Amino acid sequence: MSRIAIIAGAGRLPVTLAAGLNAPLICALDGYAPEGLAVDLTFRVERLMPFLRALADEGVEQVCFAGAVQRPRLDPSLFDPATAQMVPRLLAAMQGGDDATLRAVMALFEEHDFAVVAAQDLLPELVPGPGVLVGEPGDADRRDADRAASIVAALGAVDVGQGAVVAQGLCLAVEALPGTDAMLDFVARTARRPNPNGARGVFFKAPKPGQDRRIDLPVLGLDTLARVHAAGLAGIAFQAGGVMLLDRAAMLAEAARLGLFLWARE
């Protein structure tokens, strides 16, 4: 019988996904076990080929990557001969950035007859279509969102990040390797608006241009809302059809309580 494996990382996405599927095999990179899920198979990059064989032995035909992981430190002494042959290819991809690395990893799975499926294809309700979900962005917020979207498109074109914060037309921060939480915490600590009584600012999130959306699609959750509120921003705008919302009903209720808008922007 065909089975799906979740290659699980940090965050709530793996838990949400597992709850919506029928007995998926939960797999995790050594040292990056997901919270709230029992892991069936743990693997290391240095022993990727034995892991792929173990998936096949479990009857897995599809894999879904869900959750965040950091690049692991590789131990040359742990490579098996088959995986060692992949090292030059993986290292070359890693030099090209996160997107190139993820594409190379997906290609390896596909070459071994595993279909890589997107979380949003398994649970389409995770990805909102266009429209304002809660609150109401004003004209200044919409201008700030336009500016932030242009910045994120430029960042994504060079494989840097998927988010930016703009207030009163000025870029307060952009997302880089430390991630969204670090960016929003930075804004909370340091950002000063030119006009203290003007627009408070917008956090915008979107996939990178040309990104393979089967993996690393942006995710927003309750923790993001808390950080946006702490940063003194007016709300969150994100690309409609390109960002996943976890615990959507709870997010809408909390955004309303905090006075934040959530806008799936076309």
Taking phi first (over 0 means left), then psi (-120 to 50 degrees means alpha), and beta for anything else, what does residue 179 get? left
CA dihedral for 80, 81, 87, 89, sign (positive or negative):
negative
- Local structure of residue 146 (DSSP, 8 states): H
Contact between 220 and 240 under an 8 Å Cβ cutoff? The reply is no
Contact between 255 and 262 under an 8 Å Cβ cutoff? The reply is yes
In the prediction, which pLDDT does 98 show?
Answer: 66
Please, which residues have CB within 8 angstroms of residue 190's CB and are 6 or more apart in sequence?
none
What are the φ and ψ backbone dihedral angles of 60, each rounded to 5 degrees?
Answer: -75, 135
Q: Which residues pair with 235 in a beta bridge?
A: 202, 261
State how far the alpha carbon of 251 is from the alpha carbons of 35, 131, 263, in Å: 20, 15, 12
Cα-to-chain-centroid distance, residue 32: 15
Identity of the residue numbered 66: A
| Percent of the chain whose predicted confidence (pLDDT) is above 90 | 68
Burial class (CB in 10 A: 0-12, 13-18, 19+), 48: buried
* Each residue's pLDDT tens digit, 220-239: 999 999 999 999 999 999 99
- Local structure of residue 78 (DSSP, 8 states): G
Identity of the residue numbered 16: T
pTM score, two decimals? 0.85
In the prediction, which pLDDT does 201 show?
Answer: 98
Mean pLDDT of successive 10-residue segments in the chain (266 residues)?
87 92 93 90 92 96 89 83 85 73 86 95 95 98 98 91 96 93 96 92 94 88 97 98 94 98 97
In the prediction, which pLDDT does 1 show?
Answer: 56
**Nearest 5°: CA angle at 215, between 132 and 105?**
165
* Each residue's pLDDT tens digit, 29-45: 888 888 899 999 999 98
Q: Which domains does the chain have, with CATH numbers?
A: 3-122 (3.40.50.20), 127-265 (3.40.140.80)
What is the Cα–Cα distance from 12 to 24, expressed in whole angstroms? 16
**Token pair of 13 as six digits:** 């996405």
**3-state class of 201 per DSSP?**
coil
Contact between 262 and 216 under an 8 Å Cβ cutoff? The reply is no
* Residue of 26, 55, 52 lying closest to 40 (CA atoms): 26
In the prediction, which pLDDT does 35 show?
Answer: 87
* Each residue's pLDDT tens digit, 85-98: 887 887 787 776 66
Other C-beta atoms within 10 Å of 106: how many?
17
In the prediction, which pLDDT does 62 show?
Answer: 97
In the prediction, which pLDDT does 137 show?
Answer: 98
